[in-house]
Amino acid sequence: MKLKIITRRLFVTAFTLLIAQVGVAEDKKQKPLRALLITGGCCHNYIFQSKALIDGVAKHAKVDWTVINEGGKGTKAMIPLYKNPNWAKGYDVVVHNECFANTSDKAYVQSVTKAHEAGVPAVVIHCAMHTYRASSFDDWRKFLGVTSKRHEHQSTYSVKKVIKNHPILKGMPDDWKTPKDELYVIEKLWPNAKALATSVSERDKKEHAVIWTHQYGKARVFGTTYGHSDATFKDPVFIGYVSRGLLWAAGRLDTEE
């Protein structure tokens, strides 16, 4: 394991973590996936979540990780990574687990979405859905495959499979309940998005997609709105379907339904 920590002014910390993990789900002859994890912002324990995700995915896949944690702990940031027009070059998949709701610069946001539209696969987790929420344009939402601007209270939510035999959901119990987490209100499922699983609001009984797949331009996108709490990142069911979602996005999981 190689760990490089760079401390910036205003307590903004950027770190790059390169780690080769040997898992059990992929052919040993396959090269490890090259994954970029972008994280940071408000409201969540991103240091813990990053480690839990990397350790958990290692049980399912071989991945070389680069982790970028920039922008501090607020709701508004334009992180240095995206100043490089080739920021995603060389990666097989990018994982977005950041939370910057009040960033709304269109050119900045498009510097992210253009890379994915051109073909870089992605995984989007929890508050990535509320990142750039303040923007008046839909570029980020079109990339995600969902529009969400608010969430409901924390609870243990039952998860219902919509496409029961989808390989991403393999091994998920039919009666799985989340650890304490937030249910995101999905206002819109974009045309190329397909819900794999849903949960029901305890307030108004409306059903919302919580796991989905999406085609954005040339890129596959896998998403889940769960992932608020440390307990969720400790849950093997959550880590399992996120790991398979990552493999699916990168084109290394069977797509038969």
CA dist., res. 129 & res. 78, Å (int): 17
Whichever domain contains 130, its CATH number is 3.40.50.880
pLDDT of residue 30: 78
On whether residue 48 sits in a domain, the answer given is yes
pLDDT at 15 > cutoff 90: no
Closest Cα to residue 39, out of 58, 66, 62?
66
pLDDT at 45 > cutoff 50: yes
DSSP three-state, residue 228 = coil
Q: Cβ-count burial of 245 within 10 angstroms (0-12 exposed, 13-18 middle, 19+ buried)?
A: buried
Closest Cα to residue 116, out of 149, 94, 145?
94
Domain total of the chain: 1
Domain span at residue 115 reads 2-249
On whether residue 194 sits in a domain, the answer given is yes
pLDDT of residue 113: 98
On whether residue 257 sits in a domain, the answer given is no
Per cent of the chain over pLDDT 90 is 87
Q: Look at 8 and 55; give whichever has higher pLDDT.
A: 55
Q: What is the DSSP letter of 129?
A: G
pLDDT at 1 > cutoff 50: no
pTM above 0.85, yes or no: yes
Q: Give the pLDDT confidence of 68-98 residue by residue, as tens digits.
A: 999 999 999 999 999 999 999 999 999 999 9
pLDDT of residue 257: 38
DSSP three-state, residue 83 = helix
Per cent of the chain over pLDDT 70 is 87
On whether residue 255 sits in a domain, the answer given is no
Q: Which two tokens stand for residue 224?
A: 């889940």
CA dist., res. 153 & res. 201, Å (int): 9
CA dist., res. 20 & res. 153, Å (int): 37
pLDDT at 254 > cutoff 90: no
Q: What is the DSSP letter of 121?
A: -
On whether residue 167 sits in a domain, the answer given is yes
Q: Look at 24 and 40; give whichever has higher pLDDT.
A: 40
Q: Give the pLDDT confidence of 176-223 residue by residue, as tens digits.
A: 999 999 999 999 999 999 999 999 999 999 999 999 999 999 999 999
Q: Cβ-count burial of 172 within 10 angstroms (0-12 exposed, 13-18 middle, 19+ buried)?
A: buried
On whether residue 140 sits in a domain, the answer given is yes
On whether residue 254 sits in a domain, the answer given is no
pLDDT at 20 > cutoff 70: no
